[in-house]
Amino acid sequence: MRCLIGIITKPHGIKGGVIIKPLTDFNRYQKDSDVFFYPHNDNNLKPLKLTIKTVKETPKGLIISFYDYDSIEQALILKGLKLYVFEKPHLADDEYHYNDLLEKAVYNQNGKHLGKIIEVLVVPQGHLIRVELEEGSKLIPFNKVFVKEISEIVVINEIEGLL
């Protein structure tokens, strides 16, 4: 099974490094592990393999270099590509793959439809979900205090001032 784990956002430095926006908090980015991409993000084409050479965590995202990519010109070719692995790790009952949460409808505890999840963010303080509302979007802490249920929909505890 194919699992989207990140997006290459831009090159970093002149030696072929790239910045990755991770879409999972699982440690999928390790030295000598393989990730895959589809040329031009076309899922109808055969996926190509990249092998990770180095990984560094930064506030901007992960800085990763790949074997056989050692110039900024080569890194520019990778910009915008989605990275995949071809198996999903087993999850505990209260764990979720970020890409499985995207586009889920969000309701409050009274059953009122609020919007849908459009992004999952990882910040030093924890995880956040960005919910697209009728007017703009809001960030909601992704924890048991605010997120009460996750099934086909997401139910949040809408406290005063949250939205």
The per-residue pLDDT for range 83-127, each reduced to its tens digit, is 988 876 667 777 777 778 889 999 999 999 999 999 888 788 888
SS3 content of the chain, % helix, strand, coil (to 5): 10, 45, 45
Same domain for 68 and 25: yes
**Token pair 């990755």 in the structure block, residue:** 20
State what percent of residues in the chain have pLDDT above 70. 94
Tally of domains within the chain: 2
Same domain for 35 and 79: yes
In this structure, the number of other CB atoms found within 10 A of the CB of residue 98 comes to 23
C-alpha distances in Å from residue 81, one per residue of 44, 90, 129, 153: 14, 25, 23, 29
Same domain for 114 and 72: no
Same domain for 65 and 27: yes
Same domain for 150 and 104: yes
Same domain for 102 and 81: no
Specify the pLDDT at position 95.
76
Instruction: Average the pLDDT over 13-26 and give the result.
Output: 86
Q: Which domain holds residue 22?
A: 3-85
Instruction: Output the pTM of the full model.
Output: 0.59
